Amino acid sequence: MPLAPSFAVMLRTEDNVRIEAAHTPSRGPADLGIVLAHGFTGSLRERPARRITHVLSGFGGVVSFDFRGHGRSGGESTVGDLEILDMDAAVRHARAIGYARVAVVGFSMGGAVAVRYAGWRAAAGRVGRDGEIDAVVTVSAPARWYYRGTRPMRQVHWAIERPLGRLAARVGKRTRIRSRGWDPVPSAPHEAVVDISPTPLLIVHGDADSFFPLDHAHQLHDAAGEPKELWIEPGYGHAESAATPDLVRRIGRWVVANS
């Protein structure tokens, strides 16, 4: 089956970073927009993200984008900190092109950013319909920073913290990572999730996730206010590459029903 056609968009963030994005028109409800956020070192151009975009477009129009420092977007990755401004630009674009309802769906780092973005808007008292979101879905996301309890996460920290690791990420994954660390340390997802209520929240995590064990999903769920749902998916691994069309369709149906 051919993938749904997408149209290239260039966005600008509040701090003037150029963000490459794409709009895939809806094959479902015309008033619903879904902002799709990839994981660390991912891209809207990679096949897993394109496949997810195609499936979700059956439930609403999809605005996908590359985080700063990834792919053809400008800037450098801050690994979940200033990326809330990238998501803000994508949400505002979804509103600007006419979607009356907007949900955010994020995978791994993108899931952490989705939670932090929703909490940031609420906690800061930001007003204006152009940046509002009606539902949040976080998939395979960490609940806390600096987690090194699995081998894949130790490799991620090597890529972030070591010059050779950052070079490898730049050459191998087209991901440009800022060399200086966080100052100050941004709110962790389990802290930001407190502020999302009453926006509906769905937390999805696999029991075969090799990056973040299930206690991350439970920590997010325990900290969140209502309405919230937690799906523990048997056999599901990590993020976009492991997401089956069936799981993505279930997420799409949840978004339609809760946004």
Classify 177 as helix, strand or coil. strand
Contacts of 254 (CB under 8 A, 6+ apart): 135, 137, 202, 229
d(CA 92, CA 100): 11
Q: What is the pLDDT of residue 151?
A: 97
Q: What share of the chain is helix, strand, coil (3-state, %, to 5)?
A: 40, 20, 40
Side-chain-side CA neighbours of residue 204 (13 Å): 29
pLDDT in tens, 29-45: 789 999 999 999 999 99
pLDDT in tens, 44-86: 999 999 999 999 999 999 999 999 999 999 999 999 999 999 9
Enter the pTM of the model: 0.94
DSSP designation for 180: S
